[in-house]
Amino acid sequence: MLIAPSPADLHAPAVEVPLSSRLARPANDRLRSARRARRSPSGSERVLSRQELADACNEILDAMYATAGHAPRWAGMNANYIGALERGEVRWPNEHYRAALRAFFNATNADLGLYIDRPESLSSAESSPAGHEAA
């Protein structure tokens, strides 16, 4: 069920993400390289597009839900989401999306550059370096 935003929400100021925060996140070259190493199923001999990857993952998700006996649900992967993953804006997609990506590429989370980027605790966030560990 969709809930319409209240009139107050429509006039709320936009939250600006500082450019320095956006630039601090490195691109996910592993996922991008994995996608670009595949050919489009269209027969064009071009690399697999972001939308083609999203479509393939959505098919995997549909099959996963059917096998598990879950009611069909809309799997929302699209070209924009794949782009966000490749740009590093999203580092740890939800469990089902990770499973679909792993199944499509027959790879691990680490192979695809997917890792949890949030600190375990506030104190570790303050003392840890900017680096990351692959999950």
The predicted pLDDT at position 18 comes to 55
SS3 114: coil
Residue whose token pair is 């590429």 = 105
Each residue's pLDDT, cut to its tens digit, for the chain (135 residues) gives 445 545 554 454 544 555 555 556 899 999 999 999 999 999 999 999 999 999 999 999 999 888 877 776 666 899 999 999 999 999 999 999 999 999 999 999 999 999 997 777 665 545 444 444 444
Coil, strand or helix at 9: helix
Cα(51)–Cα(120) distance, rounded to whole angstroms? 33
Q: 96 with 104: CB under 8 angstroms?
A: no
Phi/psi of residue 53, each to 5°? -65, -45
| Residue 21 half-sphere exposure toward CB, CA atoms < 13 A | 4
**26/24 Cα distance (integer angstroms):** 6
C-alpha 1: how far from chain center:
24
Q: How far is CA 44 from CA 5, 49, 52, in A?
A: 43, 11, 13
Given phi > 0 = left and psi -120 to 50 = alpha, else beta, which region is 55? alpha
pTM, 2 dp: 0.69
